[in-house]
Chains A and B, each alone.
Chain A
Amino acid sequence: MTVLDIAGLSAALHGGRPVLRDVSLVIGEGEVHGLVGMSGAGKSMVARAVLGILPAAVRLTAGAIRFQGRDLVGLDERGYRRLLGRDIALIPQDPLSALNPSRRIEAQMTDVMRLHLGLSARAARDRALVLLNEVRIRDPEAVLRRYPHELSGGMRQRVLIAISFACEPRLIIADEPTTALDVTVQQQILVMIRGLQRRHGTAILFVTHDLGVVAKVCGRMSVMHEGMVLEQGAVADIMAAPGHAFTRALFAATPRYDRPVEALAPVPAAVLADIAAAAQAFDAGRPC
């Protein structure tokens, strides 16, 4: 069954400059879909559109975002409040700032469960302990009493991941969840997200600029640039034979331990120019 079906989504700034151009992608139940691209490609814009938290200056101009068959475009705040945290959750990018500095971990973890699952304070606390065990935090009782600044970056990200799985959502948006962590921790966190995702059967839209991450956790992927999806398909297929020149260039620009640094090449200007021309052609065909 399809969990998320984004069809022909376009968005533009108030001035008319397009930021998303006809983005379509489908995520099935329990599927992990990687959304790859350089910064400014529009990946996060897609994620924010699904969550209904687009910046005030950006407006959707066309398309639909169907979550379990229901279109989220134009859904009001109340509708979103019922959905977010319960059916759709977010693993944020920066674990340092996504936790409230002046509240204990317990309060921040139980908020969502008490709100959406109607749990008592005690039941929510018990569930928080189970979740912390699941994200392999050693002394969960102690962690619940801590403030965010008393935890390391990796611990904080584990807490945030535990919160995102708290209400057994159907879909999780992971917005570069490992970018702010150091490399050794990244690996653990990725393995953990993958494990949780399998056990809970959650679909994940995994936003990242790191192809290595996509290879490790995603089943399917979309490559974006200039707000357009350039290539889409199974990760194994695309890795074996990238169809778009941009994807090939992206692979060439990814650092790998088995290649010397000199082998890294930036994306060729000609490829970028082609994409820009395609974007312009698209804009010309659809006046804003």
Chain B
Amino acid sequence: MVRAGMFRLLANWRVALGGFVVLVFVVAALGAGWFSPADPLEQDLMLQLEAPSAQHLLGTDSLGRDILSRLIHGARVALAVALVAGILTALLGTALGLAAGYLGGWPDMLISRAVDIWSSFPPVLLSVILVALLGTGLHSVIVAIVVIDWTRFARVMRAETLKQRHMDYVDAAVVGGLKPGAILLREILPNVLPLFVVLLTLEMGIAVIVEAILSFVGLSLSSDVPTWGGMIAEGRQVIYQAPWIIALPMAALLALVLGLNLLGDGLKAELDPVLR
């Protein structure tokens, strides 16, 4: 049953391609120690801004550090943020969305108005302010993403829960004497789960971008940890002498986010019972 489901999912080219791209980054990040040809922090001031060569496959940056190694280590930060921030955002937003959609009344009122107010702030500005307040560091980046993006989940999950709540099987459960908590967890939750998976995948892409933006403006990790955003910032200063330095981390960012979005879109088509 499960195996047949996996095969059907992989038959969708979006799921297959997106999943493959994401998998490549995950493997690279997990095995960063083995895959990177050099220490990403080791400087070689004799070999600054080196073009790609046999010794340095993707060249070196302005401090003579190996770019391929820095890209691979940067994937660790990007994926860690995507995973942790994505899941936390999804859990918080989904919990609030379920509560609003199922309880209705004043909890719905409160949560929905909060979503409206949140959505009227420019997200990038809000995240910069948040990180500035919390201090730089990985945890601040994650907190900023969760605090800003929970509304995306809350809004969609609320609408879906409202829809499911009026289905006959929920009435049937009420008439079976089930408690509201049991109805929410056993009857409604399994039916909103596909949507949760889809949104989570898309949210991970967004988290990767936000982390890159924050490290680009120097509000993420300290500069001794390689991040794609930080590499883009450094590359910008030498864009005329060595354009590949800015192009490579941008390409990595683009590929990962594209992979995640493809995966999300594909899952949406496969998991949506109406489209299926």
State yes or no: do A and B come from one complex.
yes
Selected interface stretch from A24-32, A63-71, A88-96: A88-96
Contact yes or no, A98 B168, CB < 8 A: yes
Interfacial residues of chain A within 65-119, with CB under 8 A of chain B in the complex: 80-86, 89-90, 92, 94, 97-103, 107, 111-112, 115-116
Q: Which of B167, B177, B191 contacts A86 (CB 8 A)?
A: B177
Closest to A113 in B: B176
Q: Mark B204-232, 1 if CB is under 8 A from A, else 0.
A: 00000000000000000000000000000
Cα A264 to Cα B187 with chains together (Å): 45
Q: Mark A47-62, 1 if CB is under 8 A from B, else 0.
A: 0000101000000000
Contact yes or no, B171 A53, CB < 8 A: yes
Contact yes or no, A115 B178, CB < 8 A: yes
B34 to chain A, nearest CB (A): 41
Contact yes or no, A92 B172, CB < 8 A: yes
CB-CB under 8 A for A84 and B174, given A97-B167, A97-B168, A98-B169: yes
Cα A115 to Cα B183 with chains together (Å): 12
Contact yes or no, B177 A83, CB < 8 A: yes
Contact yes or no, A84 B175, CB < 8 A: yes
> Interface residue tally of chain A, by bracket?
20 to 34
B193 CB–A CB distance under 8 Å: yes
B185 to chain A, nearest CB (A): 11
B273 CB–A CB distance under 8 Å: yes
Cα A42 to Cα B41 with chains together (Å): 78
Contact yes or no, B177 A100, CB < 8 A: no
Main secondary structure of the interface of B (DSSP, over half): helix
Q: Which of B167, B171, B177 contacts A116 (CB 8 A)?
A: B177
Q: Which of A80, A92, A102, A112 contacts B171 (CB 8 A)?
A: A92
Q: Which of A84, A92, A99, A103 contacts B177 (CB 8 A)?
A: A84
Cα A103 to Cα B178 with chains together (Å): 15
B243 to chain A, nearest CB (A): 51
Q: Which of A98, A100, A116 contacts B191 (CB 8 A)?
A: A100
- Residue numbers in A under 8 Å from B169 (CB-CB): 97-101
Contact yes or no, B177 A112, CB < 8 A: yes
Closest to B104 in A: A56
Q: Which of A51, A94, A100 contacts B175 (CB 8 A)?
A: A51
CB-CB under 8 A for A103 and B175, given A97-B169, A98-B168: no
Contact yes or no, B171 A101, CB < 8 A: no
A110 to chain B, nearest CB (A): 11
Give how many B residues have a beta carbon under 8 Å from the other chain's beta carbons.
19
Cα A193 to Cα B101 with chains together (Å): 37
Interfacial residues of chain B within 157-198, with CB under 8 A of chain A in the complex: 167-169, 171-179, 182, 186-187, 190-191, 193
The listed residue with most A CB atoms (<10 A of its CB), out of B177, B178, B273, is B177
Q: Which of A81, A94, A101 contacts B273 (CB 8 A)?
A: A101
Closest to B194 in A: A102
Cα A51 to Cα B171 with chains together (Å): 10
- Residue numbers in B under 8 Å from A81 (CB-CB): 177-179
Closest to B168 in A: A97
User: Besides A98-B169, A111-B186, 15 other CB < 8 A contacts?
Assistant: A53-B171, A53-B174, A80-B177, A85-B175, A85-B177, A98-B168, A98-B172, A100-B173, A100-B187, A101-B169, A103-B186, A107-B186, A111-B176, A112-B176, A115-B178
Pairs A–B under 8 Å by Cβ, sample size 19: A81-B177, A84-B177, A89-B176, A92-B168, A92-B175, A94-B168, A97-B167, A97-B168, A98-B169, A98-B172, A100-B169, A100-B173, A100-B187, A101-B169, A102-B190, A102-B191, A103-B186, A111-B178, A112-B177
